[in-house]
């Protein structure tokens, strides 16, 4: 493809992301699945262009507002080319020629905008901190409190590309076998530092180049997410619930821990998510997973199965602040119910799911959030209301994680661990009192 054609595809993809309810990474994957004729280099360049524009949303928006220009996918792309890629108006005009494989020609208004932006940079001393750090206003103070002196470093880390992590399915391959297969493909890969079945690729290849994804030998899963599933500690023959299964990534990891023995119930309130997850389960060759559609966290199924499971994972819906590096568009997709609504929902889900845990069983509460309100505070409130649960320290369940931000909980951040931001607390339910003769 020519540089102009790549710009045209990038512009189309940015428009699709803006109009979609799904996260950017899902939209990008679907976009490239429909264009299998693209070369790897074209895919990489288009993807890099798109994510660069998404990561500069607030700063580019500030410049457009400064010169009273509307924010559109096209205006943001033009401004990023001028400020981020430092192209002159003449260079940009050459690319926007209006040919069949190029974006439409520049308008007079667009040429004037580019002339004003020439010589500038993405950052400007007059930008508010929220704009400069690409942080939505609602999250600025909570994240400042969360990180303290590390705030600037953590926000900068969230503006860098996320690595591609794989989780090996031990039922079909070993990590060493997959590493050797990746090496034969000419890809640089290494074992993840903390997750025992994880592999990290520093350069993201076209996923079509990874046959292990098609054979079920590996799944795409961030190292942090792998560690959350590991904390469940599921054993062969046990009964386990993934209460908010979503796309099923953690469910898959849990089921493989159990060597396809016992049963894992993947629950969710979305029928479409469960259907997509079920396809992944079949592709991985796992037969110990069942799906259960819930009407809400208080579904009657929960009451009927009270105390019936050895382990329960609650991967609660959250603000998603820990995923901003992977899905920069998520910063600007605020949940309709807001943070306070999310906190109420999380507490209700945790309270209801805890009923499923048998005496002596394990409950894991997790989020992909960096906000204490959604993490430590939720666990503290739950424990205060449920005297029969107590925390199991991280050192007992995952001793390989030695640098968690919190001593007792799994607490990962992009700058400190080079993973998505994750939180998980492991809680044990007290065993039933011994019967007295």
CATH code where residue 206 lies? 3.30.70.1170
**334, 313: one domain:** yes
Beta-carbon contacts of 427 under 8 Å, excluding residues fewer than 6 positions away, are 362, 363, 364, 365, 379, 382, 383, 389, 390, 391, 392
Residues of the domain holding 38: 3-132
What was the pLDDT predicted at 436? 46
The last residue of one of the domains, among 132, 151, 185, is 132
What was the pLDDT predicted at 88? 94
**293, 328: one domain:** yes
Over residues 315-319, the mean pLDDT reads 95
What was the pLDDT predicted at 285? 83
What was the pLDDT predicted at 44? 87
CATH code where residue 62 lies? 1.10.940
CATH code where residue 371 lies? 3.40.50.150
What was the pLDDT predicted at 20? 86
**274, 348: one domain:** yes
Per-residue pLDDT reduced to its tens digit, 193-210: 999 999 999 888 878 789
Query: 359 pLDDT band (50/70/90 cuts)?
Result: very high
Contact at 8 Å (CB) between 405 and 369? no
**242, 337: one domain:** yes
In whole angstroms, give the CA distance from residue 191 to residue 133.
Answer: 31
DSSP string, 249-278: HHHHHHHHHTTT-SEEEEEES-HHHHHHHH
Handedness of CA 191, 193, 197, 198 (dihedral sign): negative
Over residues 350-371, the mean pLDDT reads 98
pTM above 0.75, yes or no: yes
Is position 153 within any domain?
A: no
Number of domains in the chain: 3
In whole angstroms, give the CA distance from residue 209 to residue 267.
Answer: 32
Is position 414 within any domain?
A: yes
From the list 135, 267, 318, 368, the catalytic residue is 368
Percent of the chain with pLDDT over 70: 99
In whole angstroms, give the CA distance from residue 245 to residue 226.
Answer: 14
What was the pLDDT predicted at 23? 86
**182, 229: one domain:** no
**228, 372: one domain:** yes
Contact at 8 Å (CB) between 315 and 425? no
What was the pLDDT predicted at 206? 78
Q: Which of 262, 213, 266 is nearest to 243 (CA)?
A: 266
What was the pLDDT predicted at 434? 54
Over residues 3-29, the mean pLDDT reads 92
Percent of the chain with pLDDT over 90: 83
Per-residue pLDDT reduced to its tens digit, 95-127: 999 988 999 999 999 999 999 999 999 999 999
**104, 24: one domain:** yes
Q: Which of 117, 14, 113 is nearest to 69 (CA)?
A: 113
Residue 437 has pLDDT above 80, yes or no: no
* Phi, psi (degrees; rounded to nearest 5) at 429: -85, 140
267 is catalytic: no
Residue 249 has pLDDT above 60, yes or no: yes
Over residues 163-170, the mean pLDDT reads 94
**77, 179: one domain:** no
Is position 60 within any domain?
A: yes
**301, 187: one domain:** no
Is position 381 within any domain?
A: yes
Residue 317 has pLDDT above 60, yes or no: yes
Per-residue pLDDT reduced to its tens digit, 56-91: 999 999 999 999 999 999 999 999 999 999 899 999
* E strands present in 274-415: 289-293, 309-315, 357-367, 389-391, 410-412
Which helix (H) or strand (E) element contains residue 178?
Answer: helix 175-184
Q: Which of 362, 385, 367, 243 is nearest to 314 (CA)?
A: 243
Segment among 34-48, 132-146, 305-319, 393-407 with least mean pLDDT:
34-48
Is position 150 within any domain?
A: no
Residue 334 has pLDDT above 80, yes or no: no
**386, 295: one domain:** yes
What was the pLDDT predicted at 39? 84
Is position 437 within any domain?
A: no
Q: What is the DSSP letter of 286?
A: -
Is position 313 within any domain?
A: yes
**183, 73: one domain:** no
Query: 35 pLDDT band (50/70/90 cuts)?
Result: confident
Over residues 5-9, the mean pLDDT reads 95
Contact at 8 Å (CB) between 219 and 249? yes
Segment among 27-31, 32-36, 301-305 with least mean pLDDT:
32-36
The last residue of one of the domains, among 202, 220, 238, is 220
Residue 433 has pLDDT above 70, yes or no: no
Query: 248 pLDDT band (50/70/90 cuts)?
Result: very high
* Phi, psi (degrees; rounded to nearest 5) at 320: 70, 20
Q: Which of 261, 227, 214 is nearest to 364 (CA)?
A: 227
Mean pLDDT of the chain: 93
Is position 412 within any domain?
A: yes
Over residues 264-274, the mean pLDDT reads 95
**315, 197: one domain:** no
In whole angstroms, give the CA distance from residue 297 to residue 357.
Answer: 15
The last residue of one of the domains, among 115, 132, 149, is 132
């Amino acid at each position: 493809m020519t540089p102009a054609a790549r710009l045209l595809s990038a512009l189309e993809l940015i428009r699709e992301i803006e109009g979609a309810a799904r996260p950017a990474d899902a939209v990008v994957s679907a976009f490239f699945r429909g264009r299998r004729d693209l070369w790897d280099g074209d895919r990489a360049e288009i993807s890099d262009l798109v994510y660069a524009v998404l990561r500069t949303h607030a700063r580019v928006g500030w410049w457009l507002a400064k010169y009273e220009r509307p924010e559109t996918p096209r205006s943001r792309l033009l401004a990023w080319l001028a400020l981020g890629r430092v192209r002159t108006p003449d260079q940009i005009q050459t690319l926007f020629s209006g040919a069949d494989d190029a974006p439409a020609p520049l308008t007079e208004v667009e040429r004037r905008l580019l002339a004003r932006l020439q010589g500038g940079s993405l950052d400007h001393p007059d930008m508010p901190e929220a704009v400069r750090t690409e942080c939505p206003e609602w999250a600025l103070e909570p994240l400042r409190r969360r990180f303290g002196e590390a705030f600037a470093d953590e926000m900068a880390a969230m503006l860098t590309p996320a690595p591609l992590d794989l989780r090996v399915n031990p039922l079909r391959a070993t990590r060493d076998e997959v590493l050797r297969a990746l090496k034969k493909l000419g890809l640089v890969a290494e074992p993840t530092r903390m997750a025992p079945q994880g592999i990290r690729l520093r350069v993201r290849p076209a996923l079509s180049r990874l046959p292990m994804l098609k054979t079920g030998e590996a799944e795409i899963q961030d190292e942090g997410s792998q560690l959350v599933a590991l904390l469940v500690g599921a054993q062969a023959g046990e009964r386990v619930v993934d209460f908010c299964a979503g796309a099923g990534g953690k469910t898959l990891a849990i089921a493989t821990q159990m060597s396809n023995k016992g049963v894992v119930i993947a629950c969710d309130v979305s029928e479409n998510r469960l259907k997509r997850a079920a396809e992944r389960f079949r592709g991985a060759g796992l037969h110990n997973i069942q799906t259960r559609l819930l009407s809400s966290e208080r579904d009657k199924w929960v009451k009927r199965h009270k105390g019936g499971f050895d382990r329960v994972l609650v991967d609660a819906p959250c603000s998603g602040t820990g995923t901003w590096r992977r899905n920069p568009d998520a910063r600007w997709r605020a949940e309709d119910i807001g943070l306070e609504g999310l906190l109420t929902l999380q507490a209700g889900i945790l309270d209801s799911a805890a009923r499923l845990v048998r005496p002596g069983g394990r409950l894991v509460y997790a989020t992909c959030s960096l906000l204490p309100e959604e993490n430590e505070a939720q666990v503290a409130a739950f424990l205060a209301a449920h005297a029969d649960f107590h925390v199991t320290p991280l050192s007992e369940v995952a001793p390989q994680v030695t640098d968690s931000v919190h001593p007792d909980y799994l607490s990962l951040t992009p700058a400190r661990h080079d993973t998505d931001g994750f939180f998980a607390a492991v809680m044990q339910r007290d065993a039933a009192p011994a019967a007295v003769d």
